[in-house]
Chain A
């Protein structure tokens, strides 16, 4: 159930990575991975963050959790600014905000037993120990649909889907309110993806979780999200509710993205009109002048290569950054 209370507010978030050269590491340029994005997240909702490679969505998730220190901007979590916190204060807050990682084969320590992996957050924060800890770990395993006797096994004995469940159990162990899901199902087979997605949704309902769901698969994002933000080259180009995005996509990139996603229905596919984008995605180290999308936009006009468009609410709860939408 999505409440109206705002859990997270991100303002003008930027994360630049310096490009260094030479022995002494002189900075010769900047990769503008995230270049000024703002949005909020309501308690209990799933916000889908979608975009193609290089758009900055993964970096955004990490920057929000302060795993990358943002270059500038503010991240308000329950009204406290995470960017202004000390390392120790952040540590105290960590139980409330967790992350689920993309690759189930490298996100679990191969030398730790499943029980140790899931219990680690609880041990770090000194919350439980002994039998209480064991009971809690068993309970978590059951919550994610796995046999509690698996605590003694090791990650390599499990399949990708099962490993993701272990990762999810670890993420929810401290009862967080907010979880960043960084492409949690991209490495899994289709039939397993469905299992994991269903689990995530069940847990959201049971535990009242808020998800930032980062993915490149637009159909999956449509299925699971309440609101969706589309990113391109470090910027949010469009942000609105799920139905609004698909019934009325305003940004040309969103439109071409939607038209590029295949639909598993041959009759529909044959009739589809695809907007095929020309060219390649520019490098985030050297973004185009003006609107970041203007080099590939089928509707670009002169203004588009001169000045970046303003990111505004052009319709209720519908934000777009595009000169053409402003004009019309």
Chain B
């Protein structure tokens, strides 16, 4: 709305060079209108703050075992106490502290996993989409090869050869998730390549470098970022399944996946051990997905708001 009025009155805001900060402020106006986006942002911020300030927020060391205090239920039940608000697990470790520290593992895996998968996928998809022909066929062949890898076999293989560590989990996700980024990128590149402005750049004499970096990539950012948020939430999920298989980070490291795995045997006797990490995974994924939805809407309306 401000745009329309401004356009008619030659408002000076629009006529100055707008910085990234200006645009961020402008975009954040959309945030306030969208309740689910606010919830998403809130959840995400909670996770990020928990990850950054884990040592300050946790009452106990997450690795601290105290077998005399094991399997204490959460504070609101009869045998529980506010010493351990969410209870303790089978080795007497404080669940609240472990859940909070778990944010570090999840965010690290999510962020670096997406960075690697996204980076590989972006390069593969762009080259395949832009140059087409044989190059496209070869690259998409590689993509399909990765996709057809038996996922579990691959994971077990990596764990067996390289051992269990945070880095290896990131490696696994970085490779197995690259195809989806490659496919989406390639689709977008194909679409953008047919646009009038790309044709115009070619007719002005632009070479492939300028076309890719100046025209195609900037217009990819929208769908790419949206996909990245969704994949990040997915990776946090997958980490849980890896934990279940005993193939995630080493069992001492407090990851939500490991917590779920160790809590499985006590589902009936001490359900809180698995429940709270499960809830943490759920809310984190939810938050990211909501943010992803908002991002998709906000990065698109430039086209939506076009006037006749």
Contact = CB atoms under 8 A, between A and B. Distances in A.
B235 to A, nearest CB: 28
B201 A120 contact: yes
Interface string B195-227: 111011111111100100011001100000000
Interface in A156-190: 156-160, 167, 170, 174, 189
Contact of B3 (A150, A157, A167): A157
A283 interface: no
Contacts of B68: none
Interface residues of B, number: 31
B303 A110 contact: yes
Contacts of A112: 214
Contacts of B17: 152
Contacts of A108: 196-197
Nearest to B6: A157
Given A94-B203, A98-B203, A153 B219 contact: no
Contacts of B18: 152
A94 B201 CA distance: 11
Nearest to A148: B15
Nearest to B221: A111
A224 interface: no
Select the residue from A91, A157, A170 with max chain B CB neighbours within 10 A.
Answer: A157
B214 to A, nearest CB: 8
Contacts of B307: 156-159
B306 A106 contact: no
Interface in A77-129: 91-92, 94-95, 98-99, 101-103, 105-112, 117, 120-121, 124-125
Interface in B1-24: 3, 7, 10, 14-18
Contacts, number: 86
A110 B16 CA distance: 18
B199 A103 contact: no
A156 B303 contact: yes
B9 to A, nearest CB: 12
B33 interface: no
Given A150-B15, A159-B307, A107 B206 contact: no
Contacts of A233: none
Given A108-B197, A189-B308, A124 B206 contact: yes
Contact of B219 (A98, A109, A149): A109
Given A101-B199, A158-B307, A110 B205 contact: no
B141 to A, nearest CB: 12
Interface residues of A, number: 39
A159 B308 CA distance: 5
B3 A170 contact: no
A101 B200 contact: yes
Nearest to B205: A94
A157 B1 CA distance: 11
Given A157-B7, A158-B307, A107 B203 contact: no
Contacts of B207: 91
B197 A107 contact: yes
Nearest to A103: B196
A210 B10 CA distance: 35
A95 B206 CA distance: 11
Nearest to A104: B196
Contacts of B29: none
Contact of B205 (A111, A121, A159, A170): A121
A65 B200 CA distance: 12
Contact of B203 (A65, A150, A189): A65
A147 interface: yes
A107 B204 contact: no
A67 interface: yes
Contact of B196 (A101, A124, A149): A101
Report the 6 A-B pairs with minimum CB-CB distance, sorted nearest first: A107-B196, A94-B205, A121-B204, A109-B197, A106-B196, A111-B218
Interface of B: 3, 7, 10, 14-18, 195-197, 199-207, 210, 214-215, 218-219, 302-303, 305-308
29 contacts: A65-B203, A67-B202, A67-B203, A91-B205, A91-B207, A92-B205, A94-B203, A98-B203, A99-B199, A101-B199, A109-B219, A117-B197, A124-B201, A124-B210, A150-B15, A152-B15, A152-B17, A152-B18, A154-B302, A156-B302, A156-B307, A157-B3, A157-B7, A157-B14, A157-B307, A158-B7, A159-B307, A167-B200, A189-B308
Interface of A: 65, 67, 91-92, 94-95, 98-99, 101-103, 105-112, 117, 120-121, 124-125, 147, 149-150, 152-154, 156-160, 167, 170, 174, 189
